[in-house]
Amino acid sequence: MTSTTLAPDLQAKLDHLRAIIRACGSALVAYSGGIDSTLVLAVAHEQLGDKALACIGVSPSYPRRELEEAIAIAREIGAAYRLVETNEHLNPNYAANPVNRCYFCKSTLHSHLVAIAREEGWNAILDGANASDVGDFRPGMQAAREKGVRSPLLEANITKPEVRAIARALGLRIWDKPAMACLSSRVPHGTPITPDLLRQIEAAEDTLVALGFRQFRVRHHGEIARIELASDELLRAIEQREAIVAGVRAAGYRFVTLDLAGYQRGSMNAIHVARDDIRTRKPIS
């Protein structure tokens, strides 16, 4: 893999990333098919060859379309991959959907990867956290640190825009792929997470995918589906409202609404809960 059209400072960061991953000797990559973990996987495959393995966590919160694309991208890179059934919804702490739900999700995934690494002799576990994630509320990063998972993008001080620039230079076709959080992020905190609920949300979002929308969320509010779209796609949604309504209702919603504020990352977070309180919240016994 060779890079092109990178500024010297960004090339230096890519070289640093390569050195960090090469020094691991062998690594499991917590891989979702998003651009961050895809870049880590691509560089890991470049530097480690068959000593790099993509591990894809499979659960009801991970859309089938995302799984299929992740597999396709791993094959394009030439990297080996493995599907890892996580079943985090069976954990009552996760299923209760507290504000720090992501902690329990990532803890479950990383526990599986730690077990694989120990049993098979992998030296490191890598994830796709980057420098832009620092300071944001990301309880999953806490879980990763507790399990000894490394974040080479963060270690190389590579930000999200830089991830995209490097990925584009390396020829990764998803360099501009919109962020795609798990399906549980569409549900208000405190509303229990169940596989049936996640399948309902996935079916509703599949309607938007089929109609060509790229940046979207279907936020779940009981019988109401609140659709968030990128601002430049709102008018097109009005034009295609009949198809959207039909598809979302077929998924099980009675009312279909379009949020005029547009797509907002993390809009379901209960921001009134203090972060210190979140971090000290005890698991359900």
Shared domain check, 152 and 40: yes
Residues 257 and 217 sit within 8 Å (Cβ to Cβ)? no
Give residue-wise pLDDT tens across range 110-150.
999 999 999 999 999 999 999 999 876 788 889 999 999 99
Shared domain check, 100 and 57: yes
Q: Is residue 112 part of a domain?
A: yes
CA-CA-CA-CA torsion for 210, 211, 217, 218, nearest 10 degrees? -80
Shared domain check, 236 and 201: yes
**pLDDT score, position 50:** 97
Q: Is residue 41 part of a domain?
A: yes
Shared domain check, 194 and 165: no
Shared domain check, 248 and 145: no
Burial of 231 (0-12, 13-18, 19+ CB in 10 A): exposed
Q: Is residue 278 part of a domain?
A: no
Stretch 5-24: mean pLDDT: 97
pLDDT over 90, % of the chain: 87
Q: Is residue 3 part of a domain?
A: no
Shared domain check, 164 and 32: yes
**pLDDT score, position 3:** 52
Q: Which of 169, 203, 225 is the last residue of a domain?
A: 169
Is the per-residue pLDDT at 282 higher than 80?
no
Q: Is 182 a catalytic residue?
A: yes
Stretch 223-245: mean pLDDT: 97
Shared domain check, 91 and 225: no
Q: Is residue 25 part of a domain?
A: yes
**pTM value?**
0.90
Shared domain check, 45 and 145: yes
Give me the domain span that covers residue 59: 8-169
**pLDDT score, position 274:** 41
Shared domain check, 134 and 16: yes
Return the closest-CA partner of residue 87 out of 66, 71, 63, 108.
108
Q: What is the CATH number of the domain that holds 111?
A: 3.40.50.620
Report the distance separating Cα 256 and Cα 263, nearest Å.
16
* Count of domains for the chain: 2
Is the per-residue pLDDT at 283 higher than 60?
no
Residue 203's H or E segment, with its range, is helix 195-210
229-232: Cβ within 8 A, 24+ apart: 229/258, 229/259, 229/262, 229/263, 230/178, 230/262, 230/263, 231/262, 231/263
Q: Is the dihedral of CA 65, 71, 74, 75 positive or negative?
A: negative
Report the distance separating Cα 135 and Cα 43, nearest Å.
26
Residue 5 exposure: Cα atoms within 13 Å on the Cβ side: 7
**pLDDT score, position 266:** 63
Residues 127 and 40 sit within 8 Å (Cβ to Cβ)? yes
